[in-house]
């Protein structure tokens, strides 16, 4: 079974802090994704990566950056946290053939910015 592990289930930070969310997958997948999930809005793609050191902006990249130094690890960085970044953050991975290989998700990090 694919295992996508997010380092924290719950996180509370203050506005202006730099926040790191970590994600690790154990299936040697090329693609990794970061989403945020908000009520009524569903999942929205922040960034994705299809290879080590590669990254692509998703639909809502503003205020975020990412890092992928190793294939199995994909980090989401909030450069200067703001209250509107309070959300559930979900990491996902999939093999290289996006078109016929669905994404597998971690259990999420619920982030609160005070």
Partner 1 sequence: QKEVEQDPGPLSVPEGAIVSLNCTYSNSAFQYFMWYRQYSRKGPELLMYTYSSGNKEDGRFTAQVDKSSKYISLFIRDSQPSDSATYLCAMEYGNKLVFGAGTILRVKS
Ordered DSSP codes for 3-56: -EEES-SEEEE-TT--EEEEEEESS--SEEEEEEEETTTEEEEEEEESSTT--E
Q: Tell me how crowded residue 49 is: count the other CB atoms within 10 A of its CB.
A: 20
100 counts as binding partner 1 under rule CB under 8 A? yes
11 counts as binding partner 1 under rule CB under 8 A? no
48 counts as binding partner 1 under rule CB under 8 A? yes
Query: Looking at beta carbons only, is 12 or 15 nearer to partner 1?
Result: 12
Among 13, 71, 73, 104, which residue interacts with partner 1 (rule: CB under 8 A)?
A: 104
Report the interface residues with partner 1, using CB under 8 A.
4, 9, 31, 40-45, 48, 50, 56, 58, 90, 92, 98-100, 102-108
């Amino acid at each position: 079974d694919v295992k996508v592990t997010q380092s924290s289930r719950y996180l509370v930070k203050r506005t202006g802090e730099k926040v790191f969310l970590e994600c690790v997958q154990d299936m040697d997948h090329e693609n990794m994704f970061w989403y945020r999930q908000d009520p009524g809005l569903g999942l929205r793609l922040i960034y994705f990566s299809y290879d080590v050191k590669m990254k692509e902006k998703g639909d809502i990249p503003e205020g975020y950056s990412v890092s992928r130094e190793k294939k199995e690890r994909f980090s989401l960085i909030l450069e200067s946290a703001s209250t509107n970044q309070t959300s559930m953050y979900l990491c996902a991975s999939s093999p290289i053939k996006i078109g016929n290989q669905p994404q597998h998700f971690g259990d999420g990090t619920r982030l609160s910015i005070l």
